[in-house]
């Protein structure tokens, strides 16, 4: 940069600082008179007897001439007249390859309170999804190391899949398994709204040292303010986007989208939005597509995304589950009945689908997968008759075949937590099961 350009840059800098004062606090919301700012801007609220502690907050709305602020952290020692400083910018995080193996918060700071590594790049946490005309089609599969997914629900590089399940059905264990076994270049894992106890459990037990060595984990626990939980989702997505723009194939996992929606509902209600379906505010259904569309393919690399969705009472048609299922490129349903029988992963194959599978697998693979689904469906439709002895062998050739295959199909669908299967091994096992009836 020459001297003239440098002088032009300096002339363009805004040398003013803008301040306001806290007027009142209502519930989660802080109302201040000033400063001049825009929606999404980061501000600092000075608290304490000497006004030395500053609390980060975001501008989430306006009321008359006042600014509505939502704090990122728990606010203490706040009083009328506390100073509010505007930064005139949105939240930015630092990201780079030196973060791999770290566990960070929504601000990008390491949770073990160590200092940030050197050589990181500053990026905004909230970005726009890629231009749809610049998204390459999904043409190549990605290995996740789980036999039932690789063979029957094949996932493509850049595909976005929902994992739908109630609590305690094995979502975290399945996510840890995928992160350890996948052939993606890097994992980015967001734990949003998790219980504090579960964070270390997931990192040490489900993810393990092998998985953490190739992962970046972003955490916002359930006790943190709603804005912090939402920003954790945005920060994790920004980290994944950074590595995608470097040309890498990123495996992105978020647990869970439902808790992001709940956090946005808290903010929406605090701002004054009217509650709609099941108490969710309109802004919830506005941010979900914007957040989920940020992953996928672009001209540089891919983000293959798995989003977990908590379904209340195993109701697959509740508002968030229904909305997310309509946005994503496939869904995997974890069935409590299968989990109760000791089947892991407890994936209900007949209720799950990969919308891009037919474009990325061979005809032989597709035919074998369809045949297995057909056999499983035939057996389950006649299961009651078979169990009570009302079905007589020889009455139906299809049911007889399904009865013969069923025990082997169940064995095929099961996989131990620490068993790693390559995609090639999974497809060979599927073909062998269908062609020779052996597994």
**For residue 314, pLDDT beyond 90:** no
Range scoring the smallest mean pLDDT among 165-169, 302-306, 352-356: 165-169
**For residue 98, pLDDT beyond 70:** yes
Exposure class string for 374-392: b at 16+ Cβ within 10 A, else e: ebbebbeebeeebeeeebe
What pLDDT, on the 0 to 100 scale, is given for residue 80?
Answer: 87
What mean pLDDT comes out for the span 7-36?
Answer: 81
What pLDDT, on the 0 to 100 scale, is given for residue 438?
Answer: 74
CA angle 431, 179, 106 (to 5 degrees): 150
Please check whether residue 162 is in contact with residue 325, taking contact to mean a CB–CB distance below 8 angstroms: yes
**For residue 15, pLDDT beyond 70:** no
Band of residue 113 on the pLDDT scale cut at 50, 70, 90: confident
**For residue 352, pLDDT beyond 70:** yes
What are the structure tokens assigned to 310, written together?
Answer: 């908590």
What pLDDT, on the 0 to 100 scale, is given for residue 159?
Answer: 97
Is pLDDT larger for residue 299 or for residue 316?
A: 299
Pairing state between β 103-104 and 215-221: parallel
**For residue 64, pLDDT beyond 90:** no
What pLDDT, on the 0 to 100 scale, is given for residue 279?
Answer: 87
Band of residue 385 on the pLDDT scale cut at 50, 70, 90: confident
* Three-class SS state of 389: coil
Q: Helices 397-413 and 423-436: crossing angle, nearest 10°?
A: 160
Instruction: Report d(CA 208, CA 163) in Å as an integer.
Output: 21
**For residue 3, pLDDT beyond 90:** no
Band of residue 313 on the pLDDT scale cut at 50, 70, 90: low
> For residue 329, what is the DSSP state?
S
What pLDDT, on the 0 to 100 scale, is given for residue 331?
Answer: 95
What pLDDT, on the 0 to 100 scale, is given for residue 288?
Answer: 95
H-helix segments, 140-225: 147-152, 171-181, 196-201, 208-212
Instruction: Report d(CA 194, CA 141) in Å as an integer.
Output: 30
Instruction: Report d(CA 104, CA 87) in Å as an integer.
Output: 23
**For residue 14, pLDDT beyond 70:** no
What pLDDT, on the 0 to 100 scale, is given for residue 309?
Answer: 94
CA 117 from chain centre, in angstroms, equals 25
What pLDDT, on the 0 to 100 scale, is given for residue 307?
Answer: 97
**For residue 8, pLDDT beyond 70:** no
**For residue 339, pLDDT beyond 80:** yes
C-alpha Rg value of the chain to the nearest Å: 25
Band of residue 295 on the pLDDT scale cut at 50, 70, 90: very high
> For residue 106, what is the DSSP state?
T
The closest of 239, 252, 249, 196 to 219, measured between CA atoms, is 196
Strand ranges (E), 87-145: 92-95, 103-104, 121-124
Please check whether residue 338 is in contact with residue 346, taking contact to mean a CB–CB distance below 8 angstroms: yes
The closest of 24, 39, 19 to 86, measured between CA atoms, is 19
Please check whether residue 251 is in contact with residue 178, taking contact to mean a CB–CB distance below 8 angstroms: yes
What pLDDT, on the 0 to 100 scale, is given for residue 265?
Answer: 94
**Mean pLDDT for the chain overall:** 91
What are the structure tokens assigned to 188, written together?
Answer: 């980015």
pLDDT tens digits, one per residue of 249-282: 999 999 989 999 999 999 999 888 998 888 899 9
What pLDDT, on the 0 to 100 scale, is given for residue 1?
Answer: 60
Residue 97 sits at φ, ψ, to 5 deg, of -65, -20
What mean pLDDT comes out for the span 394-399?
Answer: 89
Band of residue 76 on the pLDDT scale cut at 50, 70, 90: confident
Range scoring the smallest mean pLDDT among 163-167, 352-356, 368-372: 163-167
Range scoring the smallest mean pLDDT among 254-258, 318-322, 326-330, 388-392: 388-392
CA angle 9, 242, 73 (to 5 degrees): 85
H-helix segments, 161-305: 171-181, 196-201, 208-212, 226-245, 257-271, 282-292
Q: What is the pTM of this model?
A: 0.91
The closest of 62, 77, 72 to 32, measured between CA atoms, is 62
Range scoring the smallest mean pLDDT among 257-261, 315-319, 429-433: 315-319
Distances (CA, A) of 437 to 244, 401, 412, 429: 42, 10, 11, 10
Distances (CA, A) of 71 to 39, 191, 201, 247, 267: 14, 20, 29, 35, 11
């Amino acid at each position: 940069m020459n001297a003239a350009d440098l002088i032009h840059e300096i002339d363009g800098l805004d040398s003013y600082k803008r301040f306001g004062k806290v007027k009142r606090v209502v519930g989660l919301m802080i109302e201040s008179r000033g400063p001049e700012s825009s929606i999404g801007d980061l501000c600092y609220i000075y608290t304490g007897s000497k006004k030395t502690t500053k609390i980060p907050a975001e501008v989430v709305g306006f009321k008359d001439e006042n600014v509505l602020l939502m704090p990122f952290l728990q606010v203490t020692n706040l009083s009328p007249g506390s100073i509010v400083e505007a930064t005139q910018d949105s939240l930015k995080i630092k990201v780079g390859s030196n973060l791999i193996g770290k566990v960070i918060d929504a601000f990008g700071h390491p949770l073990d309170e160590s200092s940030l590594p050197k050589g990181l790049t500053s990026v905004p946490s909230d970005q726009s999804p890629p231009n749809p005309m610049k998204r390459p089609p999904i043409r190549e599969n990605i290995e996740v190391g789980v036999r039932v997914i690789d063979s029957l629900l094949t996932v493509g590089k850049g595909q976005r899949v929902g994992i739908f399940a109630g609590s305690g059905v094995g979502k975290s264990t399945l996510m840890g398994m995928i992160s350890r076994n996948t052939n993606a270049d890097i994992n980015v894992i967001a734990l949003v709204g998790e219980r504090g106890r579960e964070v270390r459990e997931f990192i040490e037990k489900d993810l393990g040292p092998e998985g953490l060595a190739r992962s970046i984990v972003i955490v916002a626990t359930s006790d943190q303010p709603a804005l912090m939980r939402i920003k954790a989702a945005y920060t994790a997505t920004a980290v994944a986007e950074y590595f995608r723009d470097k040309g890498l194939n990123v495996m992105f996992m978020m647990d869970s989208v439902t808790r992001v929606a709940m956090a946005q509902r808290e903010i929406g209600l605090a701002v004054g939005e009217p509650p709609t379906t099941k108490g969710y505010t309109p802004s919830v259904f506005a941010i979900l597509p914007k957040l989920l569309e940020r992953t996928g393919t672009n001209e540089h690399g891919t983000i293959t995304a798995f989003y977990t969705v908590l379904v209340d009472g195993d109701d697959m048609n509740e508002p968030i589950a229904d909305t997310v299922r309509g946005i994503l490129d496939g869904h995997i349903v974890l069935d409590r009945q299968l989990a109760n029988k000791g089947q892991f992963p407890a994936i209900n194959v007949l209720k799950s689908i990969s919308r891009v599978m037919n474009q990325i697998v061979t005809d032989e693979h597709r035919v074998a997968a369809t045949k297995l689904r057909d056999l499983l469906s035939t057996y389950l439709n006649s299961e009651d008759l078979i169990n009570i002895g009302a079905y007589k062998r020889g009455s139906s050739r299809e049911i007889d075949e399904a009865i013969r295959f069923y025990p082997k199909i169940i064995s095929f669908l099961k996989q131990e937590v620490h068993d790693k299967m390559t995609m090639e091994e999974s497809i060979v096992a599927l073909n062998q099961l269908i062609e020779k009836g052996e597994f």
